[in-house]
A and B are shown apart, each in its own frame.
Chain A
């Protein structure tokens, strides 16, 4: 079975700063992979490389068996046109730390926008599906609210519905609960948990260790641009082998957790 995400020796630098120093990992269909690690470890950058929001400098990155951002003929790589990159992104949903909902559109319009504009779906069909998705994330009664009228947790759930509206094969979550008040985190994690149960392939950058432990099939601990430790959540979070992993977990988990 082709892995949904396959990364081979990925390198990425911003100017003189090398943020990813040779990352290998793969995510198989229906798998949930959590990326954990201290800030600045490169986990968000890695996630953003997967849908080509960042360009990688070295290595190969495949989504669903296709090279991301390039076409390979023989030994040579050709950059894809903007239109082709956009076409690749249609199948990859992304949820941002700061939601990034379109503030001039209602919740319903936010969810409908891409299916109508990008997939050229019929407006009525897109509206019906958007309502269904808002219902799924528990916001059926908020379809006419503008983002500014919603709480952070509600906005993030609309953002998840918006990404799902494109029927993606893969969902990327970039610290989806980091900008939320503590009492709102649960609703968002609940939606993500259900999504995982329904078999969505997901890559999640998160600081929620409890979520990673319960939902992830695979946890990668990153530090300083490399994957320090990778494996079953019970192993990595429960019984970390590396000193750096242990030190990080000790910092994020309260002593009595």
Chain B
């Protein structure tokens, strides 16, 4: 029975050749957007105030590049402090000891509850709070001490401000990741005789990574831009470099464009890196990334054969 049915099905196979739905609304929207884009591009290109020639000159200016280098260093070290601190705080927050989790909670509350710019300036003026910093026995004698102003350089103040603040945000991200892992994983690891620490390292964190990585990528990209805030404590980075230059020559518009282009370029690179890492950590995930339809198929209702084929 079924065989004859299949035979007829094959014999009578008729491919569907239908006229696709015409999306007139999409065409109208597209026309408006193209028009607006033309206006913007025209104004940007023909605007003399932009001084595109100068943008090109200053893009690889020595001071700009040194500022850029400092921006990158600041971003990297702050993120390392943020991630390490965040993991530590998240594990503390999930500890059964109420004082441990309370301390982490207090830290997070404090650092998320005050503006970063305030924290940066506080670190910079730490000497106003504690003129001398030293090592000694609590409530007892001090062995070594130093002048706070000498100890806290603008770089250290910037790193403390950015890193410790980031740790508070990362703590919540890591905690969310850890809590997203199925309780059964913990039980399975326990039943195999794995210790808590090893279970965390080998089983829980690698799975939490999938949830932690995307927001951490966002945090890194945000951090790259946030480093520009340290210009308020006069640490020399990209934004500060640009400001110094235009304070001297008043070429404000082209120099701001130089800064914006560099930030845009770097955030784009970071976005690409984030995509690669995300792919790596989705190992074993059941759901592949959703496939986007090509623009052709969305606009015109047809597809360019090869691009629609599945990726393996």
Contact = CB atoms under 8 A, between A and B. Distances in A.
Contact of B284 (A51, A87, A103, A114): A103
A89 interface: yes
A53 B187 contact: yes
A96 B188 contact: yes
Contact of B194 (A51, A86, A148): A86
Contact of A87 (B184, B185, B190, B193): B193
A89 B191 contact: yes
A102 B205 CA distance: 12
The number of chain A residues touching the other chain, given as a range, is 20 to 34
Given A82-B196, A113-B202, A117-B202, A53 B190 contact: yes
Contacts of B195: 82-83, 86
B213 interface: no
A96 B184 contact: yes
Contacts of B188: 94, 96, 100-102, 159
Contacts of A113: 192, 202
Contacts of B190: 53, 86, 89
Contacts of B284: 103-105, 146-148
B286 interface: yes
A93 B193 CA distance: 9
B285 interface: yes
Contact of B185 (A94, A100, A146): A100
Contacts of B194: 86, 114, 117-118
A162 interface: yes
Given A103-B284, A104-B283, A96 B187 contact: yes
Contacts of A118: 192-194, 198
Interface string A204-232: 00000000000000000000000000000
A11 to B, nearest CB: 22
B229 interface: no
A168 B187 CA distance: 17
A233 B128 CA distance: 81
Contact of B285 (A83, A87, A148): A148
A53 B191 contact: yes
A213 to B, nearest CB: 28
B286 A104 contact: no
B192 A114 contact: yes
B203 interface: yes
Nearest to A102: B203
B227 interface: no
Contact of A104 (B184, B192, B207): B207
A102 B206 CA distance: 10
Nearest to B184: A100
A28 interface: no
A60 interface: no
23 contacts: A51-B191, A53-B187, A53-B190, A53-B191, A82-B196, A86-B194, A89-B191, A89-B192, A89-B193, A90-B192, A94-B188, A96-B191, A100-B184, A100-B187, A102-B189, A102-B203, A103-B284, A104-B207, A113-B192, A114-B193, A148-B285, A163-B191, A166-B193
The 9 A-B residue pairs with the shortest CB-CB distance in the complex, in nearest-first order: A90-B193, A100-B188, A146-B284, A114-B192, A148-B286, A94-B191, A100-B184, A89-B193, A103-B284
Given A104-B207, A104-B284, A118-B194, 19 more contacts: A51-B191, A53-B187, A86-B190, A86-B195, A89-B193, A92-B191, A93-B191, A94-B191, A96-B184, A96-B188, A96-B191, A102-B188, A103-B284, A105-B284, A117-B194, A117-B202, A118-B192, A148-B285, A166-B193
